[in-house]
Structure formats: structure tokens, C-alpha cells
Amino acid sequence: MFSTRESSDIPTLSAWTTVRDALRGSHVTYTEGPIGRAVLLLAIPMVLELILESVFAVVDVFFVSRLGADAIATVGLTESMLTIVYAVMTGLCMGVTAVVARRIGEGDADGAARGAVQAIVLGVAVAIPIGVAGVWLAPSMLAVMGASPGVVAHASYTRVVFGVNIVILMLFLLNAVFRGAGDATVAMRVLWVANAINICLDPCLIFGIGPFPKLGVTGAAVATTTGRGFGVLLQLIVLWRGTDRIAIRRRHLRIEPAIMWNMVRLSGSAVVQSLIATTSWVVLVRTIASFGSTAVAGYTITIRIVIFALLPAWGLANAAATLVGQNLGAGRPDRAESSVWHTCRYCIGLFGVMTIAFLLAADPLVRAFTDELPVRAIATPGLRIATAGFLGYAIGIVVSSAFNGAGDMWSPMWINVVSFWIFGVTLAHILAQRLSFGPAGVFVAMTTAFVMMAICATVLFRRGAWKAKRV
């Protein structure tokens, strides 16, 4: 249990004790005690949750790659079309986390449970039309994306993924509820179960092992949705049985328009915020594509490495959002602010080391993905350039998420506009094409965007207007 003395240090508890408590779940109050320990107790399971979520895509591609290029392309194109769904989902999750965290901080567990129920209703309302459209239009959607007839022949994969997109939305929304409540370990364990089922079912359903039917690439969709479906079932069971922080009871099972509208209000701007960032990456890919397939291959390898490297930043950012929401709810805005700056100090330590490591290991990391010299000639320097922006991105995403935790979804939106579009997309076009820097210009623009994200977020955060936001 936290002591009553507020401190950013952890003087009496070893690092191993903190890690152990983070993994098994700790019944602490995040609005009291050492801030450093609070950050770690939330961030460790949140980082592992993100890594586990990324395993879904890796496992699917690993097994589907045995089926040939058309099967791989089907998975890739379907995932690219799901980008919009992910943007909506991310926005909803931001709103849900802000509401639940604020209610928990206020000591209103009943209000947090009511918010969780409205989040579930909202998720169902969003998922149904997406599912209907996906099942009906799957072949046409693939064709619009430029799929070959061989890829369109695998449209059943797309139908399954979109048809049961509700499990994707629910998995993320309910984990956002747990994160907002401070039950990050529950969210992590749910993904352990979902991934274990997916890993076991993938080869069985794709290749028809044992009593299972041979479904080919469609088997990957069935396996993934089954794993996620069991994860959602587990989430609902935990919410019904209740944790120390949140529990859904029969009296909560009703539609409450006022609470739902509040979530829609928060989530609407958060969806726009997410779309601004997502679409900027699409434009960067388009800029890179003007230099040919070799440049695209080099960029793709670099981005995969960068995204994996930045996973800890997202975990720390989620922790900061939860701490800000709960502490504002408890009427402790100064502690909320201190939580963010302490999380940034963790970022400086962690990503300072990672920056040096990735700068030195850029070539071996790229070699692990390809032996083609032309591709490596683009990916290796590109990775070194992007690595220079790691620290900026980490601080920027932590502070931006703190706004979201406070219920201020508009500030991060403008931060994204300035950093990713003005200093990202626009600068990429100028450097890569007009000034003839080529692909390297895109990576320089990316790093500049990361740094500007940190600067803009820090300046706005220091003004303190977020402390007065009502959720």
C-alpha cells in the first residue's frame, strides 16, 4: 500500500517488488503515495498489453505467409481498411478512459460502472453498421483498394474481420474501462488469454490440423476473432463479478442518454484527433511511393522497427492519462501535473538509452528484415534519422495523452495538426521532392514532427487550462 507521504521516489520498495505488484495487480490508490511507483504500477502492464496486442498481427502474418502472396496481400489490405475502425475505436477509448478515471478519482464507483455500460452500448451501436457494410461489400472494398482477382477471391477473410468487428471494438473499449479504473493488470491478462487462443487456433484452422476444417486465410480471421471473443467474454465476467475499483450490477444496465452524450462529445473530438494523426502517415507513404517500390520497402521496414520501439511510450502515455483523470477527480490537480512530469522523466531515461542503442544497431536491425542492399541503403539511414526523434515522440505522446485523461481532446488535435501535418507532411513534401532529398527527406520530416509534438504539447500543458476541464 502507498504511504501517505507524497514522493516521486520509491525509497522503501525495490524495483523487483514494484514489477511483481504491477504484474499480479496491486490494490493501491493512485491518488495517494509515491508518484513514481504509481506510474510503474500502471505503465508496466499497459506496455505489455500493447505488445500482446501487436502479437495478433504478427502471428496471423507468420502463418498466412505460408499460403502465398495473395493471402498476405488480403491480410494487409484488410488491415489497412480497418484503419478507420481503429481511429474510431481509439477515439472512443480516450473518452471512456477519461470518464471512468474521473469517476474513480471522485470516489464514485457507481458512476464509473454506469459509464462502462454506456461505453458498451455505444460500441455496439458503432460496430453493427460497420459489420453489415463489411459483410455486404467486402469484395468491392478489396477491389477499390487495388486488389488483384486472386486477392478478391479471399474476400471471406475480410467479411469475417469486418462482420465481427464488434469483438475488436469491445476488447479495446472494455480494456479502456479497466485502464481508467486503474485495473491495468486485468487488461493485460485478458490479452494473454486472447493471444493464447489465437496462437493455438491459427495453424489448426488455416491448415486443417486434426479435427479442424482447412479454411486457409479465412481461418486466420476466425482464429483471431475467436481469441478476441473469448477475451471480451472474460472482460464481461470480470466486470460483472467486480474488482476492487469497478463492478457492473443489474441497476446499471440501462441506457442513460446524458452519460452517453458526454462520451460522444469527448470521443468525437478524440476520433478527429486520431484521424489527423493516422491520415498523415498515409500521406507520408504516398510521398515515399513516388520514389519507387524499393523506397516503400525501406520505409516499411523502418516503420515496423520504429513502432515496436515506441510501444513503451504508449504504455507510459496510457498510465499518465489514467493518473491525470483520477487525480483531477480527487481534486488534486497539482498531483495530476506532477504525475505527467514524472512520467516524462521515465521517458527521458528509457528513450535516452534506446536512442543510443538504435543508432548503433540500426544496420543489424535492418539486416534482420532484408538482405537486399538497395532496400537497406534506404532503411538503415532512415532508421537512424527516425531514432533521433524517439525522445521527442515519447514526451509528446505522454503529455498529449495527459490532455485526453483530463477530458481535453481538442488540444491534442491541434498538436497533431501542427506537428504531423505542418511539420510532418508539408516538410516531407518540401524536403523529399522540391529540395530533392529523396526518402531521407521524409525521415527528417518525421523526426521534426516528433520533436515539434513534444514542444507544442509541453507549451500548452504548462498553461494549465486542462485542469479546469469537466468530464
**Percent with pLDDT over 70 in the chain:** 95
pLDDT the model gives residue 3: 35
Which whole-number Å values give the CA distances from 259 to 263, 360, 451, in the listed order?
Answer: 6, 51, 37
Note the Cα 109 to chain centre separation in Å. 26
Give the per-residue pLDDT at 432.
Answer: 92
Q: Supply the mean pLDDT for the chain.
A: 87
Of 1-10, 103-112, 114-123, least confident by mean pLDDT is 1-10
Let me know: does 123 contact 110? Beta carbons within 8 Å: no
Q: pLDDT tens across 159-195, in order?
A: 999 999 999 899 989 999 999 998 888 888 898 888 8
Nearest to 403 by CA among 345, 337, 349: 337
Q: How confident is the model at residue 15 (pLDDT cuts 50, 70, 90)?
A: low
Q: What is the distance of C-alpha 216 from the center of its chain?
A: 29
Q: Give one word for 68, left, alpha or beta, with left for phi > 0 and alpha for psi -120 to 50.
A: left
Residue 83: predicted pLDDT: 73
Q: Give 396's Cβ-side CA count (13 Å radius).
A: 25
Q: Give the DSSP per-residue string, 405-463.
A: HHT--HHHHHHHIIIIIIIIIIHHHIIIIIS--THHHHHHHHHHHHHHHHHHHHHHHHH
Residue with cell 503529455: 399
Q: Is the pLDDT of residue 145 over 80?
A: no
- The answer to whether residues 65 and 207 touch, using CB atoms and an 8 Å cutoff, is no
Asked if residue 320 has pLDDT above 70, the reply is yes
The predicted pLDDT at position 249 comes to 93
What pLDDT does residue 1 have? 30
pLDDT greater than 60 at residue 267: yes
pLDDT the model gives residue 271: 83
> What per-residue confidence (pLDDT) applies to 344?
95
| Max mean pLDDT range (308-317, 342-351, 371-380) | 342-351
Share of the chain above pLDDT 90, in %: 50
In which band, very low, low, confident or very high, does the pLDDT at 2 lie, cut at 50, 70 and 90? very low
User: What's residue 254's pLDDT?
Assistant: 92
Of the listed ranges 176-180, 183-187, 242-246, 300-304, the one predicted with least confidence: 300-304
Gap between the Cα atoms of 399 and 388, Å rounded: 19
| DSSP letter, residue 388 | T
pLDDT of residue 58: 67
Residue 288 or residue 22, greater confidence:
288
Give pLDDT tens digits for 413-471: 999 999 999 999 999 999 998 998 999 999 999 999 999 999 999 999 999 999 988 77
Helix (H, G, I), strand (E, B) or coil at 3: coil
Task: Taking residues 92-120, report their average pLDDT.
Answer: 91
Residue 9 pLDDT > 70: no
Find how far residue 362's CA is from the centre of its chain: 24
Q: At what angle do helices 165-181 and 311-329 cross, to 10 degrees?
A: 60
pLDDT for residue 8 is more than 70: no
Once rounded to an integer, what is the mean pLDDT over residues 90-112? 90
pLDDT at 399 over 90: yes
8 Å CB contact between 426 and 364: no
In this model, does residue 369 exceed pLDDT 80?
Answer: no
In sequence order, which ranges of 290-368 are alpha helices (DSSP H)? 293-309, 311-329, 333-367
Is the pLDDT at 57 greater than 70? The verdict is no
The confidence band for 56, taking pLDDT boundaries of 50, 70 and 90, is: low
The pLDDT of residue 370 is above 80: no
